[in-house]
Structure 1
Amino acid sequence: MKTTRNWLLSGLLLLVASTVFAQGKITGTIVDEQLGSGIPAVNITINGTTTGTSSDMEGKFTIESSVAKGQLIITFIGFEKKSVNFTVQNGQTVDLGSIKLVEDTSELDEVIVVGRGIIDLAKDRKTPIAVSTIKAKEISEKIGTSDITQTMVNTPSVYVSGQAGGFGDSRISVRGFQQDNTAFLLNGQPINGMEDGKIYWSNWSGMADIANAIQIQRGLGSSKLAISSVGGTVNFVTKATDLKQGGFASVGLANDNYYKSTVGYNTGMNENGWGASVLLSHWQGDGYNNGTYGEGQNYFISVGYKANDKHSFNFLLTGAPQQHDQNFSKKISDYLGFGRKYNNNYGYLNGNYVSERVNFYHKPVANLNWDFKISDKTELSTVLYASWGRGGGTGNYGSSSNKKYVMQTNPVTGLSERTAIDYDQIYANNQALTDGAGNAGNSYLIRSSVNNHAWYGVVSNLKHQLTENLVFNAGLDLRTYDGTHFRQVENFMGLTNFTDTRNLRGENHQGSGTMASNVVTQNVPVNPWQALFNTTDENQRLDYDYSEKISYGGVFGQLEYSNNNFSAFFQGSLSSQSHQRFDRYDYLPQFEDSEKVNNTGYNVKAGGNYNIDQNNSFYVNAGYYNRQPYHDNIYLNYTNEVNPLASNEKILGLEAGYSFKSSMFTANLNGYRTTWEDRVVSSSRTVTNAAGEMVGTTTVAFGDLIYKSNLGVKQVHTGLELDFILRPIDKLDIKGFASIGNWEYEGNAVTRQTDENQNLLKEETIDVDGGKVGDAAQTTWGLGAKYEILTRLSVDADWRTYNDLYGNNGAVKENIMLPNYDLVDAGVSYKFILGQAKTNSITVRLNVNNVFDEVYLSELSSNIKVTDNIPAVGNTPSIGSYQANGRVYKGIADGNQGYFGFGRTWNFSLKYNF
């Protein structure tokens, strides 16, 4: 008995001893595969046990194991569950290194991230800014036929408008600031236009195909460059050369005869470190509104080379040649009378469709990224880039009296309105001229306004780890830009030639009395591919022909401190610009070159983030910008005359925020106040409503485009933003956002109105104090949900509401407010796994946007009150106010111009991965 007892005791001691010696520690860091940043509050448990822990602010974790071999189960909201095997022995500590989590999808490819020091992506809970990130899967699922801007609609303080103008004509506002004052970056490369700061999404129609992530940094942003990030900064991070071999083919169908096909292939990286990825696509469609047909292509080529552990390179070439017909804003009464898809910018010639307004462009972009790991503490990232833009937009040229229309009675107004262009009559009138010789007074033709450029630049950043907690960045930003602008004949409309005559400007930019003329005999049809290589001879140009040269040089630096609970940064940049204009067409030869204008700007930013614990943190930051005016605001009315009011703009931004994060629920609350002085508000565009209308002392014709801009404006934008993600059960994600803003003008402003040729029609100083900033809803909120019904089968829906939306009328004291509206979008996805190896798949997706077919005004570009009188028509006097005549739509006078938003639309896609 005693012997048996001793054996049992010895066995128990051995068991305890083996258990003790098998215990060990497991460490690692949980990171976001796409952004490379640590993820806090991730749940880590040992499979089959109750032992668990959570990652800290940097994504790091430590867990003690009582078993020698096992499996870690890692879960976190919005990411796929991951299992990691481990082995520990003899009380050792095993470091598993970086454990990458991917979004809740199996379609995100592993990519080589290049330009780490250039691409300023904000790391969650470390960089003290308000930020939202959209990953590749959400982009591909929800983009459909829309511009890339549509992927940002479920973001606080972001408003997208202009879609009804045609493919690629949308605009985005962030915190009430239009996109010429929001910075857009492509892999760290600035892409806002250097002349006016604007961005045209038709030039980036392929972005949805090549974007790996989009990060919207509202407010000051984290970019170290001296850029226009007043409203915010939007970083587009494209796919790089893929590590894996494989490819895909996809097709898409949508309303209004839309069709798209895309193919892509990755070679994978070979033993010598080389690899390539290629993508090609084609799209075409009739457009939602009448007369807005569009078509285009997209190409993407990426070649990667990893020379060794220190040097890696990636070359990228992408472009999206396209053309699309356009719809300009119309009176509400026209839409009510002829339908919400009404557009009168087109007609028929001998039974063939012809649009007067076609935008066409081809803008190849190339960049070479070089990442150099100098040492364990020092890295250098550099991107060399170039873009070559070619193309423009068409419109009418000649006497407006020679432009003929098809007329119909509008049942709302009872008036005969212009519903289409009568090209047959125009053609007949032109051919009736002696020898078919046209001029500005006797004929009509279609011209192209060409806007070409060549842009070269380099951005380089040196990052050095001074201490364990202190990092220093320094770099430079150099750019040179040459633009050329002229008009050429697109379609003579039966003419054989056209003579363009003008009085050349001399000293003081006034007419010299010396006349010059061009006899144009060549026409250049719309073709975005040919526009890249062909240009019109100078003696075949008409109306204007000028160019400009802009040179830019900037330096920047940043000092950042961080530990487990606290991070802080100080950032500054200094830049110098030079501008010069060369007018070959309207000036005597000795006065062709303008005065060169040089100006200097700078910005400083500082902020800090404190992590109270692994769930709670808050941040504050502040920044001041002294920013140079854009080129188009330096020279008056597209002449060589320097604008005396074009001074540096002053921007002061203050922000604070709070963040809560757990495995089930995350939320961010942000507050901001931005003041902006001496700014120039971008021109709004309206179409004159009646023949003989007066603007200043000038009589304008029906249908003429009038542009309005404001100078010397001060704005104050304040607001609160909230966004959250909730995952109450494993298969359900709920997202929400809200933003409440108060965006107003202060003081006085100088208002200028010009015609389409930028001739000054009227200038006045007006009181705008307390006027509401328009073109973006100041109050928005939304809620979305995604539910996985079965494995690989999911449904999702998003609801948004827009309030306090004012007209796009520049700086005015009493801006008109549009009716509130709500939108609901929904979609369903399913993924089929193919083959025994399960390496191939087919994914199908169906989207329905504006599910309930909400009828709403998305924007207005005029400011007519219901108490204003309806304009007189011909010899008939005004019949009184809009209100008295019942000419009011949802509280808005129906003489106002703008756009209705899209009704219910749909799109379907099928993608085969191999």
Structure 2
Amino acid sequence: MKNLFAALCALLVPFLASAQFSVSGKISDQQTGQTLPGATITIENTYSNAVADANGAYNFKNLKAGSYAIKVTYIGYNPAQKTITISAATTVNFELTANNVIGDEVTVRATRATANSATTFTNLSKKDLEKNNFGQDIPYLLNQTPSAVITSDGGTGIGYTGIRIRGSDASRTNVTLNGIPMNDSEDQGAYFIDLPDLVSSVDNIQVQRGIGTSTNGAGAFGASINMQTTTRHDAAYTQLDNSIGSYGAYKNTISVGTGLINDHFTFDGRLSRIESSGYIDRAASHLKSFFLSGAYYGKKTLVRANVFSGYEQTYQAWDGIPEDILKAGNRTYNELGLEADGKTYYPNQTDNYTQNYAQLLVDHQISSTLSFSGALHYTKGFGYYEEYKKDQTLANYGITPVVIGGVTVGTSSLVRQLWLNTDFYGLTYAFHYQPEKTLNFTLGGAYNEYLGAHYDNIQWTQQSTNVNPGYEYSRNNAKKTDFNIFGKIDYTISDITLFVDLQYRHIDYSFLGYDRNLKNVQQSAQLDFFNPKGGITYQLNTQSNVYASIAIANHEPNRNDFTNSTPDSRPKAEHMTDYELGYRLNTPVFKGGINGYYMKYSNQLVLTGKLNDVGEATRVNVDDSYRLGVEFDGKLKICDQLNWAATAALSTNKIDKYTVYYFNYDNNTNVPSNLSNTNIAYSPSFVGSSEISWLPFKGAEAAFVSKYVGMQYLDNTSNTNPVGVVGSDPNSNRTIDSYFVNNVRLRYGFQTKLVKNIAVSLLVYNIFSTKYITNGATYPDIESGQLVNYNYYFPQAPRNFFLSLSLGF
């Protein structure tokens, strides 16, 4: 009988394991007993969450037998968590205790996607960021996210860096810090170098691919990078982070915090310095920054003030290295072809810039169903690029030629500074309404103003010209206002969540540009955009969901598109429709997902090589182009000590019809070439990454990190030559070769009685010394009946290392 009973139990186990049960209960205030409608209930390590109804009740259905950790959060209350084991319908009630503080997470809620959002995204926690923070710029910390391709002018990740996501560069990527725009208002790029070591003051980052949710600032035309800075530390701390590395690299960072004072106040500060000689000659970087933050936490109100600043001086490395020099075997010599004071280069060919920031963030719980988040911000930027120019015509600088010894001096080599002085200020706001039923509504937006003064000075002339250092020969001012308002609705019906996201954006831009008579006059342009989005998420079970969405975005031309054109030749705004379809799974063993996308462009702006009516090679609109791809992102727990994370992105990126123009120096004409179905520049068809992490014992980690990027084209021609013209060098293609780079990261952390946390880390980058290039540019033309490719590349450093020591007190 015992054997028969055991056999019956064994037969019943699969049926019991596959049975579906429910968990329900009520959420209430522990002291008053009042129910808490709108409380959020989450089953940890799954995509399941619920919102308490008008009676404070919740209900999860279709749960398999097993153990679950259930967490409940509600603004103004301490979170509560219980671990339960279910084998039948179960009731679990929660009584929450009120706290005296409001949480920081509400600051960025309006612009963030959540587990049930029909949006493709990746979250990076502070822990994820810290283990890779050796002093390299933020793009390097995002390198293992899907579809990301990073670049470095100096070859080491310190100095000017860049990131492309799904082939879209920083000028098409929306970047916000605490919901406040960081993209330059005119050229729309995001310059992380202006805030060196910002990541040491960042708590978390969300990368949304595609159009994503409505946000503030420049339209997301390929991706969004949403960062949140320092959040609350309850205990006082001091953190010392120091790194040294190859090519003269080092980083010194000190962070301090008071912890929570009188249950309401915190103060945090950071001071950083980063130096690097760079891999390429004259690619050195001298970087400094600080970050100060003070916060008041009330029962229903959070006020935080941030003041921070960054300074950068980088030497000339942004022109790249000519292809012929690389082929000759010299991967570090940056040839400038200059002669000044007997030197072969100008030693102060540098970029110098300071950016100061101030933010006032306010979050307030108006009622149990309505909350407010708002911010006032101000950014002051100023700096210059200094360069040597040989044999310049003085009349072009407004300088009257000087007669010396009876000889008229009309030309001179000179040193000039190109200045930019900017003010950027405004406000952002969001009202979040979570009523009695499973409905979330957010009304948000922003109004920002930008003032940009562009002026150029002469510091030195080789010939006597009777002008003093600092002589100003050019000045123009720009003003841009940017207003947007958006509304987002999420509505859950059983296992289905529907969302609608509508945004209106208005831009008014005043600038110095050419009129129809090719005279420089102050002009203005007004643009109005409507950006609707909608989607659906279906919860398959507690561990997985599927989602689909469609979104429309519009993107304004940049500064050069406006200033180097006339009203007749001014390009149109870009337009894109983004279709996303994905599946997400979250289990104790595997977490990840797969998604497909189709990004359909109209009026995408590209360079064609043709000069416009004022003689500038500006971008023009192409009617139809698209990006079609599939992305995978997953992390597998092989065992308790071994994990494997991987990403893969396969895509095709095409322009339907495209006309390129090559300048023919034989007869000074533009030669057109009509192309179809060409590849979009800087868009590899495959990007993949892998990280194998081994935890041999407590506090230790060894990781083998890999990245593969497929071949990229430098222009949109797919290497097609014009009819009747052949390449002068069959081995010179307008491409960046594919590359596969591997890194090793070692880390060991422990504690002592005197030091709370000690961590020693080693990063060996490019461990196999692979010769590879991440970025480049091309300027082809026709000479003597042949096509000549003038390619310039940015080679990356061979094997190099970073060693860091972190001490926490």
Q: Distance in 2 between matches of 1:175 and 1:280?
A: 34
1:795–1:343 CA distance, 2 compared to 1 (3 A): same
Q: Distance in 2 between matches of 1:811 and 1:659?
A: 35
Counterpart in 2 of 1:139? 129
Shift of 1:225: 4.1
Residue pair 1:262, 1:279 contacting (<8 A) in 2 also:
yes
Residue pair 2:608, 2:659 contacting (<8 A) in 1 also:
no
* AA of the residue aligned to 1:572: L
* Ranges in structure 1 where 5+ consecutive residues have no aligned partner: 1-24, 30-35, 43-53, 64-71, 77-81, 99-109, 403-431, 499-518, 524-539, 685-693, 700-705, 754-760, 873-877, 883-892
CA deviations 1:641-686 (Å, max 9, x no partner) are: 43544223221111101112211012211101111111323799xx
Counterpart in 1 of 2:31? none
Q: Distance in 1 between matches of 2:494 and 2:408?
A: 75
Residue pair 1:833, 1:842 contacting (<8 A) in 2 also:
yes
Partner residue of 2:742 out of 824, 828, 841: 824
Counterpart in 2 of 1:834? 752
1:445–1:271 CA distance, 2 compared to 1 (3 A): same
Counterpart in 1 of 2:595? 670
Counterpart in 1 of 2:685? 778
Q: Distance in 2 between matches of 1:752 and 1:595?
A: 31
Residue pair 1:41, 1:615 contacting (<8 A) in 2 also:
no
Shift of 1:696: 11
Shift of 1:118: 5.4
Residue pair 2:481, 2:507 contacting (<8 A) in 1 also:
yes
Q: Distance in 2 between matches of 1:717 and 1:854?
A: 30
Counterpart in 1 of 2:533? 605
Q: Indicate whether 1:636 and 2:546 are aligned.
A: no
- Superposed, which structure 2 residues align to 1:544-559 within 5 Å? 544-559=474-489
Q: Distance in 2 between matches of 1:87 and 1:655?
A: 36
Partner residue of 2:467 out of 492, 516, 520: 520
Counterpart in 2 of 1:909? 804
CA deviations 1:552-580 (Å, max 9, x no partner) are: 22211111113562212101111211121
Counterpart in 1 of 2:776? 860
CA deviations 1:389-442 (Å, max 9, x no partner) are: 11132223352699xxxxxxxxxxxxxxxxxxxxxxxxxxxxx9959x997x43
Shift of 1:601: 1.1
- Superposed, which structure 2 residues align to 1:25-64 within 5 Å? 40=43, 42=45, 56-57=48-49
* AA of the residue aligned to 2:599: T
More divergent stretch after superposition (166-175 vs 812-821):
812-821
Partner residue of 1:323 out of 288, 313, 329: 313
1:142–1:683 CA distance, 2 compared to 1 (3 A): farther
Query: Secondary structure at the residue paired with 2:797?
Result: coil
Residue pair 1:772, 1:812 contacting (<8 A) in 2 also:
no
Partner residue of 1:459 out of 411, 419, 428: 428
Counterpart in 2 of 1:734? 644
Query: Secondary structure at the residue paired with 1:777?
Result: coil
- Superposed, which structure 2 residues align to 1:364-513 within 5 Å? 364-399=356-391, 434=404, 441-490=410-459, 492=460, 498=465
Please give the root-mean-square deviation of Cα atoms over the aligned residues, in Å: 4.1
Q: Distance in 2 between matches of 1:150 and 1:479?
A: 29
1:438–1:619 CA distance, 2 compared to 1 (3 A): farther
Counterpart in 1 of 2:148? 158
CA deviations 1:332-380 (Å, max 9, x no partner) are: 2212325111112488858898535311111112111100110000011
Residue pair 1:112, 1:242 contacting (<8 A) in 2 also:
no
Report which of the two has the higher share of strand. Answer: 2
Counterpart in 2 of 1:336? 327
Counterpart in 1 of 2:12? none
* AA of the residue aligned to 1:520: V
Counterpart in 2 of 1:174? 165
* AA of the residue aligned to 2:701: S
Shift of 1:298: 0.9
Residue pair 1:712, 1:750 contacting (<8 A) in 2 also:
no
Aligned pair count reads 724
1:335–1:628 CA distance, 2 compared to 1 (3 A): closer
Shift of 1:825: 1.1
CA deviations 1:582-628 (Å, max 9, x no partner) are: 58xx99xxx87523322211100001111111223110000122444
Residue pair 2:537, 2:548 contacting (<8 A) in 1 also:
yes
More divergent stretch after superposition (450-459 vs 741-750):
741-750
Residue pair 2:174, 2:217 contacting (<8 A) in 1 also:
no
Residue pair 2:108, 2:228 contacting (<8 A) in 1 also:
no
* AA of the residue aligned to 2:94: D
Shift of 1:239: 1.1
* AA of the residue aligned to 1:600: D
Q: Distance in 2 between matches of 1:835 and 1:452?
A: 50
- Superposed, which structure 2 residues align to 1:90-169 within 5 Å? 95=94, 113=104, 115-116=106-107, 120-124=111-115, 126-164=116-154, 167-169=158-160
Query: Secondary structure at the residue paired with 1:596?
Result: strand
CA deviations 1:699-744 (Å, max 9, x no partner) are: 9xxxxxx966333453211000011100121122210111011001
Residue pair 2:374, 2:428 contacting (<8 A) in 1 also:
yes
Counterpart in 2 of 1:196? 187
Counterpart in 2 of 1:615? 543
Give percent identity, aligned residues only.
Answer: 17
Q: Distance in 2 between matches of 1:614 and 1:680?
A: 44
Residue pair 2:561, 2:619 contacting (<8 A) in 1 also:
no
Query: Secondary structure at the residue paired with 1:197?
Result: coil
Query: Secondary structure at the residue paired with 1:127?
Result: coil
Q: Distance in 1 between matches of 2:431 and 2:481?
A: 23
Counterpart in 2 of 1:886? none
* AA of the residue aligned to 1:243: D
* AA of the residue aligned to 1:389: G
Counterpart in 2 of 1:848? 764
Q: Larger C-alpha radius of gyration, 1 or 2?
A: 1
Query: Secondary structure at the residue paired with 1:139?
Result: helix
Q: Distance in 1 between matches of 2:449 and 2:425?
A: 5
Query: Secondary structure at the residue paired with 1:202?
Result: helix
Shift of 1:782: 2.1
1:582–1:855 CA distance, 2 compared to 1 (3 A): closer
1:319–1:763 CA distance, 2 compared to 1 (3 A): farther
Residue pair 2:455, 2:472 contacting (<8 A) in 1 also:
yes
Shift of 1:321: 0.5
TM (norm. structure 2) is 0.81
Residue pair 1:302, 1:316 contacting (<8 A) in 2 also:
yes
Q: Distance in 2 between matches of 1:55 and 1:174?
A: 25
Q: Indicate whether 1:277 and 2:268 are aligned.
A: yes
Counterpart in 2 of 1:581? 511
CA deviations 1:823-860 (Å, max 9, x no partner) are: 10111011130107xx6121111101111011123233
1:682–1:470 CA distance, 2 compared to 1 (3 A): farther
Q: Distance in 2 between matches of 1:804 and 1:40?
A: 43
Q: Distance in 2 between matches of 1:132 and 1:28?
A: 32
Q: Distance in 2 between matches of 1:62 and 1:619?
A: 20
Q: Distance in 1 between matches of 2:209 and 2:173?
A: 9
Partner residue of 1:897 out of 767, 780, 792: 792
Query: Secondary structure at the residue paired with 2:510?
Result: strand
Partner residue of 2:696 out of 784, 789, 810: 789
Partner residue of 1:718 out of 622, 625, 628: 628
TM (norm. structure 1) is 0.72
Counterpart in 2 of 1:802? 709
Query: Secondary structure at the residue paired with 1:309?
Result: coil
Residue pair 2:245, 2:801 contacting (<8 A) in 1 also:
yes
Q: Distance in 2 between matches of 1:696 and 1:642?
A: 12
Query: Secondary structure at the residue paired with 1:364?
Result: strand
